[in-house]
Amino acid sequence: MNHEYIDLPTVAHVEGAVRLPGSKSISNRILLLSALSQGDVAIVDLLASDDTAVMLAALRSLGVQWTEEKTATGTIHHVKGVAGVLPNKSADLFMGNAGTAIRPLTAALAVIGGDYTLHGVPRMHERPIGDLVDALNAAGTNVEYTGNPGFPPLHIKQGKIHAQRLSVRGDVSSQFLTALLMVAPLMAREHAITIDVIGELISKPYIEITLNLIRRFGVTVGQNGWESFTIEPGQVYQSPGTIHVEGDASSASYFLAAGAIAGGPVRVEGVGKDSIQGDVRFAAALEQMGVQITMGDNWIEAKSNGVLKAIDADFNHIPDAAMTIAIAALYADGTSTLRNIASWRVKETDRIAAMATELRKVGAIVEEGADYIKVTPPAVITPATIDTYDDHRMAMCFSLVSLDGAARKGNVMRINDPKCVGKTFPEYFAAFAAIAK
């Protein structure tokens, strides 16, 4: 693979099975919970990617010991829990562009206290963290901005938690609430801690993942709908012994969409009907578009039923996987509208703007708003050179535009900077080639 670009020839048909890499959201949550817990944790099938490497390196800098064991079937990471007391009281941490790493870690370090600096790539310094820092500092932590207020880089010093109630906005990123929930037991030493959500909570399925994993580590969270969450005092994270990381449901979306567009069946292994990830609901969106979906406990399969039906739906619950729907819309029988996706604007790039720009290159008519995108497919998809904005999901999404050979034999889609997929799925293009017939 050329590091500058990859050329994808037109593919008429896809079928086969893909074993998914581990979930990024689950992997980074489990790493931090394992580090904070009492006892040693064996993590099976942790995702190997840029974002998890960032978290592993940060934990090592903080004095958390871990080792990686390669087995015949995969990997096991052994993490020695520190029971909420970090060995290293000062560290300078590089967080790349990993929102799932910097946000919970900022909360943990702020509550534990010490002398820590956190910074990342230039785009990370444009991704908001102010709502989380405001909530923490109002409770007594001492987090300072060393660049633009409201954004990393950050300097964390020793604070003193005095609050029994915290409030955080829910409408920018669900990771702010996730971060507070994960550190609430560290704050609830003497008193219960209640976290109130201000406004609409977006991406609720990601909070479901957080709550599920917190409970797996032995802590009970009381829940009043999506308005508030309460953690009773005196609870400590306990090692669950061994914990398995599910396959990444967001990564599954590309292969399921491939089966929907270009025949199939394509089966993804590692997620299924028992998944704790909300992004498995992507399969239901494909069903709305007329795709034949079947599910097992640990697999999902997609098969085409002919031309896709256009969709008009709210995708607030699956913002990452919804990007794949915007590509599937190129193969639909009319205009598709993806609504309530304002969070796209503050992700690895401004995904609404990026998606609109690149879809137009292949011939689509696109209308973009503050929180929606409308895609009208072209009669024939035009081959193009796609820019990826250092955003793994842009690269993976646009690989799908090489499908459906009937209309344009022998033409090539070029994807610039394909190595950006290393953030979550370093082997993506090899896995995609394996189902292309």
CATH architecture of the domain with range 24-244: Alpha-beta prism (3.65)
Parse the chain into domains and list their residue ranges: 5-21+247-435, 24-244
The residues, any chain, with a CB within 8 Å of residue 7's CB and separated by 6 or more, are: 412, 413, 414, 415
Give the residues across from 167 on adjacent strands.
196
Q: What is the pLDDT of residue 412?
A: 83
CA distances (Å), 299 to each of 162, 247, 253, in order?
A: 47, 10, 12
Residue 246's SS3 state is coil
Closest C-alpha among 123, 220, 221, 235 to residue 189:
235
**Domains 5-21+247-435 and 24-244 in one fold:** yes
The H-or-E segment that residue 207 falls in is helix 204-216
Residue 406 clears pLDDT 70, i.e. is over it: no
CATH architecture of the domain with range 5-21+247-435: Alpha-beta prism (3.65)
Q: Do the strands 385-386 and 412-416 form a parallel or antiparallel pair, or are they unpaired?
A: parallel
Q: What is the pLDDT of residue 404?
A: 79
Mean pLDDT, range 234-239, rounded to an integer: 97
Q: Which entry of 131, 320, 391, 417 is annotated as an active-site residue?
A: 320
CA distances (Å), 221 to each of 30, 231, 361, in order?
A: 17, 5, 47
- Mean pLDDT of all residues in the chain? 95
Q: What is the pLDDT of residue 437?
A: 79
Contact (CB, 8 A) for 313 and 338: yes
Q: What is the pLDDT of residue 409?
A: 54
Task: Give the C-alpha separation, 240 to 39, whole Å.
Answer: 9
**What is the spatial order of strands in the sheet that 412-416 belongs to?**
5-9, 412-416, 385-386
Active site residue 320: yes
- pTM for this model (two decimals): 0.92
